[in-house]
Amino acid sequence: MLNLSQNGCSVWVTSSTELALTPTCLALGKFDGVHRGHKRVIEPILPTSQNEIRGEWQSGGKKEISNIYGESTFTANSSLPSSHTYSTVVTFNPHPQEYFTGKPRAWLTPMEEKIEQLRSLGVEQLVMLPFDKILCALSPEDFVERILVEQLQAARISVGEDFRFGSRRRGTAQDLQFIAARYNIPVNIISLETQGSTQIDNSGKEERISTSLIREILATGNMEKANELLGRSYALIGKVVTGEQIGRTIGFPTANLQIPKDKFLPRKGVYAVRVSILNDVSNKYEYHCLGVMNIGSRPTVNGANLSVEVHLFDWAGDLYERTLKVRMEKFLRPEQKFSGLEALKNQIKQDCINAKIFFGSEL
């Protein structure tokens, strides 16, 4: 599958090592969230000059490669120099935790979001290794030899210092470095990114940035902290679908967002948000607005299902079927039930005032 970016660059995505572009420079891990710590692991495998790589992808000879669904072909550049190695993130599908527990997992970055984040960093390829009985049974030595050396033709590898691999997670980052050395493959072991000296855990050590920690923080609604650890604003991306249109009756029309089922939602409540609207023609996000968003079941109107609704400041256009990217900046208040629509209307007015105070000079 070829994922085209807004600027014409692309990420080649495959779950088959046979279809992977080789040779490769690899970053290994789960990379859910693509947070600050993940970026440090990815940096060593990126091309030294993104302008040079973009030129290579957009010019020269062509060759056809079937995508992982067998539905079409994509045009790759066969004129790349023989010394070119593809910057490649290697992860696992399904998530190992999901595989062992049998329970679906909500992601900070579902697949499309992960691809876009990797593309923005300059990654050229995402390989999703099927996490199954065969992969689980591989010894650390076999994983390196069969997957990384023979199939992906790794020229360089980068991992976090807590990386584990092979049957029963027996392989450590140091083991990977030792095994790969037999094949003259250098391995960068990246120290864990921490929050800083002001954040100390119970053991007296600086608390490291991790996907699980970010999930915990999002569950409390502390968007400032979560965004700091991510290195960007946490966002919900979805298409606007028809809702019950109750907001229109009280003077606050909202866009009802259809969010991917596997997207991790933060604490229920009201948020100050930045909203971008996708232009379906240019495939770029435009019309950047400010607003408020509610995540909840709308108890005041006896709502039964969880919904995500956004009210944009100073917007009067039709948003149905449009895709919105909503960046969550500030948690304003938890979800609550009001005595009626008039009380709800007054609270939404106050929510808008509080959001505008937060955004300040941006309005």
When pLDDT is averaged across residues 11-16 and rounded to a whole number, the result is 94
- Residue 249 binned pLDDT confidence (cut-offs 50, 70, 90): low
pLDDT in tens, 157-201: 999 999 999 888 899 999 999 999 999 999 999 998 888 644 555
Cβ count near 245 (within 10 Å): 10
What is the percentage of the chain residues whose pLDDT exceeds 90?
Answer: 60
Domain ranges of the chain: 2-190, 198-230, 233-362
Helix, strand, coil percentages for the chain (3-state, nearest 5): 30, 30, 40
Q: State CA 277 to chain mean position distance.
A: 18
Residue-level pLDDT at 251: 66
Residue-level pLDDT at 83: 74
When pLDDT is averaged across residues 227-245 and rounded to a whole number, the result is 90
Q: What does the mean pLDDT of the chain come to?
A: 84
From the list 261, 268, 271, the residue with the least C-alpha distance to 238 is 261
Alpha carbon distances (Å) from 285 to 108, 164, 260, 274:
20, 38, 19, 12
Q: Structure tokens of 152?
A: 């992906």
Residue-level pLDDT at 40: 95
Q: CA quadruple 259, 263, 267, 268: dihedral positive or negative? A: positive
Q: Which CATH superfamily is domain 2-190 in?
A: HUPs (3.40.50.620)
Cα within 13 Å of Cα(49), Cβ side: 7
From the list 267, 208, 250, 11, the residue with the least C-alpha distance to 118 is 11
Alpha carbon distances (Å) from 59 to 283, 301, 303:
22, 57, 54
Q: Is the pLDDT of residue 70 over 90?
A: no
Q: Is the pLDDT of residue 60 over 70?
A: no
Which CATH number applies to 233-362?
2.40.30.30
Dist CA 59 CA 40 (whole Å): 30
Yes or no: say if 85 and 155 are a contact pair by the CB < 8 Å rule: yes
